[in-house]
């Protein structure tokens, strides 16, 4: 244990022993006695210090892990989670002027911030619209949509999985239905096709990841995701794309400007 001094258990308290232990460790982290990346005392050390069974220690460590404060590394130890740099998304990120250089938003931004962007798992299909997508695009579930799904990575770390839905009537046979949607991305293609984009609506939820999402984003336990659904509207008010994206919450800060009018 050496460096880190932990209090003893309070024999009076009716707070469960494993919670008391979790409290001590959480305190040490919040007070900065344990820093990002520091190793938490091993299970054996904690057992000896508190004089309790291993399961009790493991329960305590489990609490911290599900709070997103620590990560366990098999064979190495338990460490205070270190937070990787975040990507800040501004509310003008899809403004036209950012499309002109011929790069899709993600690529341009990531390079601008000195990171190495990549995209993989690109899959394109044509399907019937789901009820939710149909409603957002003002279609019926009889109508077909082009479905573009892909995963975004920064410096090899997956940060976002996204699925776009575009009415097949618009996109079928165009470059939008190709894996490489070309310079400027699909918003640029839509504008070339005469769909003048006016604004987007974004809906944001936060929740714990599903199993597949946790795997695709290589999420540590205790890391929630943003679930963002964006709909793109033309100047005529027509919805031409729905983009459903799931983002690692510790890779992003979203930022928006609101009118006070």
Question: Which positions touch a copy of itself (CB under 8 A)?
Answer: 23, 26, 55, 62, 66-68, 91-97, 187, 197-211, 221-226, 230, 232, 249-250, 252-261
Residue of 189, 179, 109 lying closest to 151 (CA atoms): 179
Q: Are 202 and 183 in contact (CB under 8 A)?
A: no
Question: What single-letter DSSP state applies at residue 35?
Answer: -
Q: Using the minimum distance from each CB to DNA, give the nearer residue, 65 or 110.
A: 65
- Which residues in 20-39 contact DNA (CB under 7 A)? none
Q: What minimum distance in Å lies between the beta carbon of 219 and DNA?
A: 15
Cβ closer to DNA: 56 or 245?
56
- Residue 72 interacting with DNA (CB under 7 A): yes
Cβ(128)–Cβ(141) under 8 Å?
yes
- Give residues 76-105 in contact with DNA (rule: CB under 7 A): 76-78
DSSP output for 152-166: EEETTEEEEEEEEEE
Q: Which residues make Cβ contacts (< 8 Å) with residue 230, sequence separation at least 6? A: 200, 201, 202, 203, 241, 242, 243, 245
Q: Compare residues 48 and 125 and give the one whose CB is closer to DNA.
A: 48
Residue with tokens 């489990």: 62
Q: Does 251 bind DNA (CB under 7 A)?
A: no
240 binds DNA (CB under 7 A): no
CB 89 within 8 A of CB 255: yes
Residue 202, Cα to own-chain centre: how many angstroms? Answer: 15
Q: Does the footprint of DNA cover residue 18 (CB under 7 A)? A: yes
The 8-class DSSP code of residue 51 comes to: T
CB contact at 8 A, 145 and 165:
yes
**Shorter beta-carbon distance to a copy of itself: residue 13 or 66:** 66
Residue 17 touches DNA, criterion: CB under 7 A: yes
Interface residue with DNA among 4, 6, 42, 68 (CB under 7 A) is 42
Among residues 11, 32, 75, 114, the one that binds DNA under rule CB under 7 A: 75
Minimum CB–partner distance for residue 175 and DNA (Å): 43
Q: Rule CB under 7 A: say whether 55 interacts with DNA.
A: yes
182 contacts: CB under 8 Å, gap ≥ 6:
175, 188, 189
Q: What is the binding site for DNA (CB under 7 A)?
A: 16-19, 40, 42-45, 52-56, 58-59, 72-78
């Amino acid at each position: 244990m050496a460096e880190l001094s932990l209090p003893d258990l309070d024999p009076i308290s009716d707070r469960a022993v494993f919670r008391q232990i979790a409290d001590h460790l959480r305190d040490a982290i919040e007070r900065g006695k344990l820093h990002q990346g520091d190793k938490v005392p091993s299970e054996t050390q904690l057992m000896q210090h508190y004089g309790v069974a291993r399961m009790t220690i493991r329960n305590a460590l489990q609490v911290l892990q599900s709070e997103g404060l620590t990560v366990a590394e098999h064979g190495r130890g338990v460490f205070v989670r270190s937070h990787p740099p975040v990507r800040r998304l501004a509310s003008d990120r899809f403004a036209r002027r950012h499309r002109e250089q011929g790069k899709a938003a993600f690529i341009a931004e990531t390079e601008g911030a000195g990171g190495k962007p990549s995209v993989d798992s690109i899959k394109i299909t044509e399907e019937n619209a789901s009820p939710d997508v149909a409603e957002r695009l003002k279609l019926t579930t009889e109508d077909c949509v082009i479905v573009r799904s892909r995963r975004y990575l920064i410096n090899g770390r997956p940060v976002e999985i996204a699925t776009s839905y575009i009415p097949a009537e618009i996109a079928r046979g165009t470059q939008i239905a190709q894996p490489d949607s070309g310079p400027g991305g699909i918003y640029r293609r839509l504008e070339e096709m005469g769909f003048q984009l006016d604004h987007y609506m974004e809906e944001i939820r936060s929740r714990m990841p599903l199993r597949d999402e946790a795997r695709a984003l290589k999420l540590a336990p205790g890391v929630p995701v943003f679930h963002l659904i964006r709909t793109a509207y033309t100047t005529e008010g027509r919805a031409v794309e729905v983009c459903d994206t799931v983002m690692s919450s510790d890779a992003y800060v979203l930022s928006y400007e609101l009118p006070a009018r």
